Amino acid sequence: MSGELVKLLSDLKEPEALAFVEKALGEGVDPMDLLGEAKEAMNIVGQRFASDEYFIPDLVFSGVILKRIVEMLEPRLKKGQEEERLGKVVIGTVAGDIHDIGKDLVVFMLDVNGFEVLDLGIDVPVQKFVDTIKETGTTVVGLSGFLTLAMKAGLNAAIVDPLDKKLMGTLKATAVLLAQDPWCQAYTSAFREGKLET
């Protein structure tokens, strides 16, 4: 690969990046190679954000571009191959929130890296998480939230404690992945320390 997609995506050149992917697929380029370049580009985007070259709108826009690239690649990726899955992950955007770009990208990345992912969608109530965890026996749960209200409703005792109570304490043996806007990092830190207030 030329690395052209890495540059186009990391520079947030949406039309050019999509045109490049379409042309590459037409020429028979392996979609996994294109996906690899897209992932490399997103690493660069992350580095630029960390160095204050990019900001939250840039992160969101890069996610939109990546999602469109993934939509182009997905039909070409080999499906149905028998392979041992690394584990099951239940994921959803918590009640009160309808954002899904970041969640969808995580779902795709987990899937192509060998995990079985059960995506519950957006605005997911506690009971839906509980029922799915019980049905699947998963030990990994992903809670996604972007809005402040959803953070308070989804990443604190309003979600986690009821989950734990309804699962009769088994959640303590379950990895809970929290995903939120970087400016809400305090919520995640407080959750880890058990200091969240309702």
Cβ–Cβ contacts within 10 Å for residue 149, how many? 12
Question: What CATH code is carried by the domain that includes residue 144?
Answer: 3.40.50.280
**CATH number for the domain including 18?**
1.10.1240.10
Query: Which pLDDT tens digits describe the chain residue by residue (198 residues)?
Result: 578 999 999 999 999 999 999 999 999 999 889 988 998 998 898 889 889 999 878 888 888 898 899 889 888 875 544 566 788 899 988 887 777 777 877 887 787 777 888 999 988 888 898 889 888 888 888 888 765 544 554 444 555 566 666 665 555 545 565 555 543 454 444 444 544 443
Does some domain include residue 81? no
pLDDT digits (tens, 9 = 90+) for 84-107: 678 889 998 888 777 777 787 788
Do residues 70 and 167 both lie within one domain?
A: no
For the chain, what is the domain count? 2
pLDDT at 170: 57
The answer to whether 157 and 126 have CB atoms below 8 angstroms apart is: no
Domain holding 51, by residue range, is: 4-76
Do residues 67 and 100 share a domain? no
pLDDT at site 23:
95
- The answer as to whether 176 is a domain residue is yes
Residues 6+ away with beta carbon under 8 Å from 26: none
In the chain, the N- to C-terminal Cα span, in Å, equals 51
Q: Which has the closest alpha carbon to 58: 100, 12, 99, 101? A: 12
The pLDDT value recorded for residue 118 is 92
Pairing of strands 88-93, 116-119: parallel
Which of these three, 76, 96, 131, is where a domain ends?
A: 76
